[in-house]
């Protein structure tokens, strides 16, 4: 079994058809049988062998290669489509229906004619169908399409200077959102990112996944970098802690060091002074903790030094306050004391304002 790709007329679609021994080349016209009946198409991809499973999934087939008579019939069908267009537009004006006729398509056997139209709301076209059936004497089908399908049928040139993707090769419309334009750092001006149909450009979705993966990889890289920095900082802290524990857990019980660091009173009294510095901050039983040789002061030693400094500062302040109060009291007593003359010492002083 062989399969061939054929492009149908309206709307532009490419489907896979079974080709049983029919030789077709690229751009050859052919007659195919689809779900709507006989149709005229153009070969896009020459026949290729296919498996039996794939052949079972394909329901459409190629009938024959287009002949000269088929070409003549195709030209006659195009003329009939123009006449049907005029008739339908006239009936729409008579009925005053809020709809816009887009295209007309006859099947190759002329058993059915399809009218494509757009409208803002639902339209009751039952009376229109009766009028068209009486005039054209064939089966009538009116199909409501959206503006993107209208652009696909009509065709045109995009902002890039090429033909519209939907009218050349695009088979289905994907949902497009403004988030795609933001992700690609494009202008959010609707006139610049909208197509001929007035909707967002379909090409915004072509590279959207690449931008998404790139930003996701950037976010992952930044997270990894932050994690690495955190691990390095944690490693540095662990190394410092281990070193501090090793250095702070050193115990020195040297007689020479005791002679150098111990006070004269402690030497005379014969007290045992142990230089004991641990990270736990435990003080020795015989005296205050001292810094070991080559070690670092522990947190308890620092806290003890700070408390001693605070106590000494508070004692100095108390002494200053006492001295100030004593000076103030002595000055007040000196002001109250009045010294009498030498001849009048021992006698009471007269009241103020009186003459001696």
**pLDDT tens, residue by residue, 162-210:** 999 988 888 788 899 999 999 998 988 988 999 989 999 999 999 888 8
Q: Quick one: pLDDT band at residue 59, thresholds 50, 70, 90?
A: confident
pLDDT the model gives residue 244: 35
Average pLDDT over residues 229-257: 42
CB atoms near residue 153 (< 10 Å): 16
Report how far residue 96's alpha carbon sits from residue 354's, in angstroms, rounded to the nearest whole number.
Answer: 131
With b meaning 16 or more CB within 10 Å and e meaning fewer, what string describes 96-109? ebebebbbbbbbbe
Task: Determine whether domain 75-145 maps to CATH 3.30.300.20.
Answer: yes
pLDDT the model gives residue 55: 85
Q: Are 1 and 18 in contact (CB under 8 A)?
A: yes
Torsion region of 155: left, alpha or beta (phi above 0 gives left; psi -120 to 50 gives alpha): left
Cβ-based burial of 354 (10 A; exposed 0-12, middle 13-18, buried ≥19): exposed
Domain(s) labelled CATH 3.30.300.20 in the chain stretch across 75-145
Alpha helices in the chain (DSSP H): 52-57, 68-95, 126-136, 147-154, 165-168, 178-183, 190-193, 208-248, 255-261, 264-269, 299-336
- Tokens 């003890």: give the residue: 304
pLDDT the model gives residue 275: 37
Report how far residue 7's alpha carbon sits from residue 114's, in angstroms, rounded to the nearest whole number.
Answer: 18
Answer yes or no: is pLDDT of 31 > 50. yes
Average pLDDT over residues 214-231: 66
Q: Quick one: pLDDT band at residue 221, thresholds 50, 70, 90?
A: low
Question: Mean pLDDT over all residues of the chain?
Answer: 76
Q: Quick one: pLDDT band at residue 270, thresholds 50, 70, 90?
A: very low
pLDDT digits (tens, 9 = 90+) for 289-315: 444 444 455 555 666 677 788 888 888
Name which residue leads in pLDDT, 355 or 68: 68
Answer yes or no: is pLDDT of 286 > 80. no
- Spatial neighbors of 303 by CB under 8 A, at least 6 apart, are 281
Q: Are 341 and 326 in contact (CB under 8 A)?
A: no
- Give the CB-side neighbour count of residue 176, counting CA atoms within 13 A: 17
Name which residue leads in pLDDT, 247 or 333: 333
Q: Quick one: pLDDT band at residue 90, thresholds 50, 70, 90?
A: very high
Answer yes or no: is pLDDT of 24 > 80. yes
pLDDT the model gives residue 52: 84
Report how far residue 135's alpha carbon sits from residue 150's, in angstroms, rounded to the nearest whole number.
Answer: 26
Q: Quick one: pLDDT band at residue 327, thresholds 50, 70, 90?
A: confident
pLDDT the model gives residue 239: 40
Give the SS3 label for residue 255.
Answer: helix
Name which residue leads in pLDDT, 107 or 218: 107
Nearest Cα residue to 172 out of 14, 330, 339: 14
Q: Quick one: pLDDT band at residue 68, thresholds 50, 70, 90?
A: very high
């Amino acid at each position: 079994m062989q399969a061939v790709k054929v492009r149908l007329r309206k709307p532009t679609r490419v489907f896979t058809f079974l080709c049983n021994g029919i030789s077709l080349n690229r751009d050859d016209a052919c007659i195919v049988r689809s779900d709507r009946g006989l149709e005229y198409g153009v070969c896009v991809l020459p026949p290729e062998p296919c498996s039996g499973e794939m052949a079972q999934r394909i329901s459409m087939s190629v009938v024959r290669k287009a002949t000269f008579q088929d070409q003549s019939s195709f030209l006659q069908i195009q003329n009939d489509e123009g006449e049907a267009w005029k008739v339908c537009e006239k009936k729409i004006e008579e009925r005053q229906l809020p709809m816009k006729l887009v295209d007309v398509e006859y099947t190759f056997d002329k058993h059915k004619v399809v009218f494509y139209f757009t409208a803002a709301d639902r339209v009751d076209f039952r009376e229109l169908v009766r009028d068209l059936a009486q005039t054209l004497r064939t089966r009538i089908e009116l199909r409501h399409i959206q503006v993107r399908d209208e652009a696909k049928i009509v065709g045109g040139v995009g902002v890039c200077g090429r033909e519209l993707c939907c009218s050349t090769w695009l088979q289905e419309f994907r949902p497009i959102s403004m988030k795609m334009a933001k992700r690609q750092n494009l202008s959010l001006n609707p006139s610049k990112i909208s197509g001929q149909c007035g909707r967002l450009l379909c090409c915004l979705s072509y590279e959207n996944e690449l931008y998404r993966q790139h930003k996701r990889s950037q976010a992952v890289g930044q997270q990894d970098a932050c994690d690495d920095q955190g691990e390095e900082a944690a490693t540095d802290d662990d190394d410092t802690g281990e070193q501090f524990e090793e250095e702070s857990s050193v115990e020195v019980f040297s007689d020479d060091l005791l002679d150098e660091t111990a006070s004269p009173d402690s030497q005379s009294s014969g007290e045992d002074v142990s230089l004991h510095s641990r990270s736990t901050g435990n003080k020795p039983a015989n005296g205050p903790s001292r810094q070991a040789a080559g070690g670092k002061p522990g947190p308890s030693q620092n806290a003890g030094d700070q408390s001693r400094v605070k106590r000494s500062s508070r004692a100095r302040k108390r002494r200053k306050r006492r001295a100030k109060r004593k000076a103030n009291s002595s000055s007040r007593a000196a002001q109250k004391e009045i010294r009498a003359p030498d001849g009048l010492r021992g006698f009471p002083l007269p009241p103020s304002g009186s003459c001696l």
